[in-house]
Amino acid sequence: MEKTLVLVKPDAVARRLSGEIIGRLEKTGMTLVALRMLQMDRGLAERHYSPHRERPFFDGLINYITSGPIVAAVFEGNDAVNTIRSAMGSTDPAKASEGTIRKDYGIDIERNAVHGSDSAQTAEQEIKLYFSDAELLPCT
Ligand code: IDP
Ligand code: MG
């Protein structure tokens, strides 16, 4: 079964939206199989966002994502990566479709409330940054 990593980003945790966002993602039919709260250090943030190292927004992104606590979660299900990203909406909340999490809760293109892995392969790498295999607990 496909898995994907979700992060409720610092702007959303600070606005007490963690439960709402996790709840909306559960309503997609995907199953929550891991959950923890943490504050990223720069090392973890730079590993997580290493594909964006050369982008002009990288330093700002690292400052933002380390600025406060986040909620990390793993969801599992058929087509989990695409299902979760559809519920999240476009990167820029101003361009996100009605009814998506980023449309409703994103502040701007950086502080966009939520992260979801962009492929099954990326998901495998990202999940390992936050969870051991033993911490993934499929419900039966
Ligand atoms: P995604 O989160 O929709 O997959 P990515 O292009 O992978 O979008 O970018 C990762 C994160 O970097 C975004 O979620 C957002 O927080 C931030 N970001 C992306 N583009 C910009 C930008 O143009 N300015 C500032 N931050 C950005
Ligand atoms: Mg991405």
Q: Tens digit of pLDDT for each residue in 10-29? A: 999 999 999 999 999 999 99
pLDDT tens across 32-62, in order? 999 999 999 999 999 999 999 999 999 999 9
Q: What is the C-alpha to C-alpha distance for residues 120 and 47, in angstroms, rounded to an integer?
A: 17
**Helix ranges, the chain (H):** 10-14, 18-26, 42-48, 58-65, 80-88, 101-105, 120-130
Q: What is the C-alpha to C-alpha distance for residues 66 and 43, in angstroms, rounded to an integer?
A: 10
Structure tokens given for 40: 């990223």
Which residues pair with residue 4 across a beta bridge?
A: 75
Determine whether 115 is an active site residue: yes
Distance (angstroms) between ligand 1 centre and the Cα of 131 equals: 23
Distance (angstroms) between ligand 2 centre and the Cα of 51 equals: 9
- Interhelix angle for 18-26 vs 80-88, to 10°? 130
Nearest ligand to residue 115 Cα: 1
Q: Is the separation of the CB atoms in 85 and 96 below 8 Å?
A: no
Ligand 1 lined by 79 (C-beta under 6 Å): no
